[in-house]
């Protein structure tokens, strides 16, 4: 097992990465200050059906609540349902929520914990590559609205995160791609030498991404500055995901990491068009995505005008268009971008006006 500390001054915790890490749940809970009497495990039906919760022991009285898989389950309706179940089951402020699943589950479970009784503790058992390298770490919890991704949420740090690499063996190919989109982001954020991350074995790759994120989170827990860089590639990615949410259908049907890969390629294209980077750095983006078997091409038939409107709703924006872009000083936040320049870069990637 590999242990990565997230050394926050107020809420420090450990991320444990390893084969079978989920079975450390009871030990981890017993080591908490004032351990809970009851544990609510929030998960998806498919994980229960696959047997991954078999033998999962919290060492406390525990109940299991399941939610709908996919972005459709990441909603305020799901949050209300879970909070009401916690009330019915008699959960107090000293009890514990445990999210067992991918990024959707850890986001929902964390947000439920953040608002139930004005905040109770939670712990994540991350079972997808996306959750392990990014989503389950750092305390950002949120659900979607029809108008966009992650628009309602809270910063609420977990008491611990267990990244069980054994469970990754059951992931379908597109779920691997989902996590690799975030790995590509971390490789690009490293600048020179970023490709070295891709050469590590799985355990070290997960642990290295967690360590990179922990370093940023400790320095900027509530995203008032440098933490925004962790959204590299996500401005367009969230807009692409919002298209399906807004339309109430799965026209694009993009996994988060697939959307991030497109967003990363767009960020490189926009930075090149603005004269911030040269073609060799754009090529580096293509190389890293290619080594991770990711396709950074924009889906056909999309409207640049519609995408720009959706990107204007991004959480980083302050009544403007804000992007995380590469440049001579490395990757940084760039505000007040010209709408026409952004639209032009989208059209350069194949979007319609």
SS3 call for 287: helix
19 is catalytic: no
In a domain, 205, yes or no: no
Domain boundary among 171, 198, 233: 171
Reported pTM: 0.92
In a domain, 107, yes or no: yes
Position 348 scores a pLDDT of 94
Neighbours of 194 (CB within 10 A): 17
| Residue 189 near residue 227, CB atoms below 8 Å | no
| Residue 273 near residue 344, CB atoms below 8 Å | yes
Domain that holds residue 88: 2-171
150 is catalytic: no
Between CA 162 and CA 169 the distance in angstroms is: 16
Three-state SS sequence of 166-204: CHHHHCCHHHHHHHHHHHHHHHHHCCCCHHHHHHCCHHH
Between CA 298 and CA 315 the distance in angstroms is: 22
Catalytic choice (223, 241, 258, 284): 223
Residues 227 and 166 in one domain: no
- Choose between 37 and 244: higher pLDDT: 37
Catalytic choice (149, 227, 255, 285): 227
Catalytic choice (149, 180, 185, 213): 213
Position 249 scores a pLDDT of 58
Q: In Å, how far are 17, 22, 45, 91, 222 from 160, measured between CA atoms?
A: 11, 11, 23, 20, 18
336 is catalytic: no
291 is catalytic: no
Q: Each residue of 161-211: pLDDT tens digit? A: 999 999 998 888 889 999 999 999 999 999 888 999 999 999 999 999 999
Residue indicated by tokens 């319609």: 352
Measured in whole angstroms, the distance separating CA 247 from the mean position of its chain's CA atoms is 22
Residues 273 and 344 in one domain: yes
Neighbours of 123 (CB within 10 A): 28
pLDDT at residue 318 tops 70: no
Measured distance between the N- and C-terminal CA atoms of the chain, rounded to whole angstroms: 51
182 is catalytic: yes
Residues 247 and 167 in one domain: no
Residues 35 and 145 in one domain: yes
Position 319 scores a pLDDT of 65
Q: What is the number of structural domains in the chain?
A: 2
Position 146 scores a pLDDT of 86
In a domain, 213, yes or no: no
Tokens of 24: 């450390």
DSSP state of 299: P
Residues 257 and 329 in one domain: yes
Residues 154 and 229 in one domain: no
DSSP state of 21: G
Tokens of 229: 């860089």
Residues 237 and 139 in one domain: no
């Amino acid at each position: 097992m590999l242990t990565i500390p997230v050394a926050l001054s107020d809420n420090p915790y450990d991320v444990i990465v390893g084969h079978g890490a989920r079975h450390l749940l009871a030990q981890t809970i017993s080591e908490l200050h004032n351990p809970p009497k009851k544990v609510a495990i929030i998960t998806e039906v498919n994980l229960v059906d696959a047997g991954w919760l078999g033998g999962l022991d919290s060492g406390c009285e525990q109940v299991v609540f399941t939610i709908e898989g996919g972005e459709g389950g990441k909603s305020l309706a799901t949050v209300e349902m879970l909070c009401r179940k916690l009330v019915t089951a008699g959960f107090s402020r000293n009890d514990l929520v445990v999210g067992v699943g991918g990024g959707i589950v850890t986001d929902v479970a964390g947000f439920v914990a953040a608002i139930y009784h004005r905040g109770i503790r939670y712990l994540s058992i991350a079972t997808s590559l996306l959750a392990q390298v990014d989503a389950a770490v750092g305390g950002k919890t949120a659900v979607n609205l029809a108008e966009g991704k992650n628009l309602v949420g809270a910063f609420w740090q977990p008491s611990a995160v267990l990244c069980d690499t054994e469970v990754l063996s059951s992931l379908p190919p597109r779920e691997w791609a989902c996590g690799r989109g975030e790995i590509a982001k971390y490789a690009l954020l490293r600048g020179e030498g970023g490709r070295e991350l891709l050469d590590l074995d799985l355990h070290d790759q997960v642990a290295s991404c967690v360590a990179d994120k922990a370093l940023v989170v400790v320095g900027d827990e509530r995203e008032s500055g440098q933490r925004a860089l962790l959204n590299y590639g996500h401005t367009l990615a969230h807009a692409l995901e919002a298209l399906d949410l807004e339309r109430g259908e799965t026209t694009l049907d993009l996994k988060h990491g697939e959307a991030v890969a497109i967003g990363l390629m767009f960020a490189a294209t926009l930075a090149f068009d603005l004269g911030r980077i040269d073609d060799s750095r754009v090529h580096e983006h293509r190389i890293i995505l290619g080594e991770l078997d990711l396709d950074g091409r924009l889906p056909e038939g999309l409207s640049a005008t519609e995408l720009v409107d959706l990107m204007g709703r991004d959480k980083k924006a302050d009544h403007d268009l804000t992007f995380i872009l590469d440049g001579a000083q490395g990757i940084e936040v760039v505000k007040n971008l010209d709408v026409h320049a952004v639209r032009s870069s989208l059209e350069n990637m194949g979007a319609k006006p």
